[in-house]
Structure 1
Amino acid sequence: MIDVVLYAVVEDGKILLEKRKDDEERYPGLWAMPSGHVEMEDKVSALMGEVNEETGLMPLKYMLLKTMPSDDGKSLLHIFVITEFAGETKQETGEGRKLQWFSVEDARKVLTDSDFHNTTGLILAEVGKIVASQK
């Protein structure tokens, strides 16, 4: 099983998503929550590096929501929610994927990948609670 950090960046009631490129082997052209492999470092170091590399942001306040196998059973997901960060959001990731902020309701509509349906539902439910508590 491959270790992966999957993260939701939340600000002003919105969640940051990335659109995978049309020529990607896995899930081409779909909106997704940003993620990255845990290499030789621990999961928090992987989170910090991936978030900064892909979004231009530096997490200041975050929590590990859950560690669980992916819906397809190929990865072990370390799921984080980031609620405070420094920096400006890039227009696209280091891998050329578009970044865009969505309301939780709109994120539910665009996150259609069936391989991660349970994972996405769990994360969006938690993000919804965070957004509600920020009002």
Structure 2
Amino acid sequence: MAPRVHDCVGALLVSEGRILLGRRSDDCDWLAGAWDVFGGHVEAGESGEQALHRELQEELGIAPMEMHYLGVLAGDAPEPWRLRLYRVVRWQGAPTNLAEHAELRWCTLAEAQDRLRGAHRDFPGLLATAMASASAPP
């Protein structure tokens, strides 16, 4: 039997040339103390978009109004996982640290790439895509 894959979604919140990241609390079960995007596990019966709406409400108290699928990252450690990433450029509410994070920080592209580079080799490219797409004219 194939191992269970943790199916997750994540949001790259982009505003005024910056990306919002959170540093997870040291007592988190998953990625304790690491810088991360916002999101989490997809629950049974949820689409990726539904899961992302729920997770952003739980973690930041916001409702995404405009989001675009960017791509997927996957890995095997510490257990098999898949992370579908979305660029979120418009939302209702002000991002507030409600759960899981020791701190929130608006980062430049270079800062975000430095903080997430160790999590997956493809993170820097997806961050650059998110930033370029957010600043492109409609």
> Same fold by TM-score, threshold 0.5 exceeded?
yes
Shift of 1:71: 6.3
State which of 107, 127, 130 in structure 2 corresponds to 1:127: 130
Moved more, 60-69 or 6-15: 60-69
Pair 1:27-2:53 in alignment: no
1:38 aligns to 2:42 (yes or no): yes
Tell whether the 8 Å contact from 1:2 to 1:76 is kept in structure 2 after alignment. yes
Name the counterpart of 1:56: 61
Q: Determine the structure 1 residue equivalent to 2:15.
A: 11
Q: 1:38 to 1:26 in 2, by over 3 A?
A: closer
- The structure richer in helix per residue is 1
Partner of 1:103: 108
- Cα deviation code 1:15-59 (max 9, x no counterpart): 110111123344332211122000021111101010111111111
Taking structure 1 as the reference length, what is the TM-score of the superposition? 0.83
**Structure 2 length as normaliser, TM-score?**
0.81
What is the aligned partner in structure 1 of residue 93 from structure 2?
87
Structure 1 gaps, min length 5: none
Deviation string, structure 1 residues 69-120 (Cα, Å, up to 9, x no partner): 2364711221111011111110x232343222111122122235x3x22231
Q: In structure 2, what residue type is equivalent to 1:17?
A: L
Number of aligned residues: 131
Cα distance in 1 for residues equivalent to 2:102 and 2:92: 21
Q: What percentage of aligned pairs have identical amino acids?
A: 27
| Alignment match, 1:76 | 82
Aligned equivalent of 1:2: 6
